Amino acid sequence: MTSPKDLTTVPTTKLQKVLADAGLGSRRALEKWIQAGRVKIDGETASLGDRVSSHQAISVDGREVVHGEVTAPRILIMNKALGTEVSRKSATGRKTVFSELPNLQTGRWISVGRLDVGTTGLLLFTNHGELAHKLMHPSTNIDREYAVRVRSLIDDETRETMLRGVVLDGVTCRFTDIQYFDGRGSNHWYHVCLMEGRNREVRRLFESQQILVSRLKRVRFGPFVLRNFIPAGRVFEIHADEVNAVCKMLDMPLRARSHTRERSDGKVRSSLLPYPNLDLPNWYSEDF
């Protein structure tokens, strides 16, 4: 392994970033791999905090990692179906979302956050670990929007309580916006926004006010919106120009390569909406 003296003159990068750039997973997941002893540098077990140069050999579970080149980023949107798990292998025999994704020649698809078994709607995947990390990190201030069906109307006092915040397991959780959408009889739909996607946070916020959520669907993740041309359980790949616009918004020097096809009429389907600091491609139209 390169000595500390050598590292003062050779450019180095954090180990988990190198692995993420190689498309092996999100930084959070890769940190767990390092702590579990699955990663080696020059044949020696790596430690969290290690830095590596392009000249060092890295392996994960005994398999060499090709590093030095940053994976060209790709982004998929899935309309997650009810009852599917966001896991690579289900312990209960349920269908997993990863079984519906296209094959990659190198790297792996990484889910940007999770949705529980009973939640449907927009789920993002990328082949680039650092991009996944940026999209999920609270510092990027990316909000999430959900369509929520409940059994009763929400009064003003309850609405204000959920906007101010409710302490759940020692953490203050709150919606940044709550808007009535539609309803009839005992079923009423609301759209709510929040900044982080903690485990079951939307359901738990409503449950804290004794309101039962009967349906929950994510319809937007920052600038990504779930379009009606994506059927339940299917995926849609974001156009390379839009991937590049998102990377620029996140201040990431990445360049995507096109893997999508134009429609028969020559137009490009879009799944982005206008968003702060996002420069949309010049062909963009909300009519697509």
**Secondary structure string (H, E, C) spanning the chain:** CCCCCHHHCCCCEEHHHHHHHCCCCCHHHHHHHHHCCCEEECCEECCCCCEECCCCCEEECCEEECCCCCCCCCEEEEEECCCCECCCCCCCCCCEHHHHCCCCCCCCCEEECCCCCCCEEEEEEECCHHHHHHHHCHHHCCCEEEEEEECCCCCHHHHHHHHHCEEECCEEECCCEEEEEEEECCEEEEEEEECCCCCCHHHHHHHCCCCCEEEEEEEEECCEECCCCCCCCCEEECCHHHHHHHHHHCCCCCCCCCCCCCCCCCCCCCCECCCCCCCCCCCCCCCC
- C-alpha span between 221 and 204 (Å, rounded): 19
The β-bridge partners of 133 are none
Do residues 163 and 174 lie in contact, with contact meaning Cβ atoms separated by under 8 Å?
A: yes
The answer to whether residue 155 is catalytic is no
- C-alpha span between 35 and 246 (Å, rounded): 31
| Residues with Cβ within 8 Å of residue 174, at least 6 apart in sequence | 162, 163, 164, 165, 166, 194, 205
* Identified catalytic residue from 6, 42, 116, 182: 116
Compute φ and ψ for 207, nearest 5 degrees: -60, -30
The single-letter code of the amino acid at 111 is S
Active site residues: 116
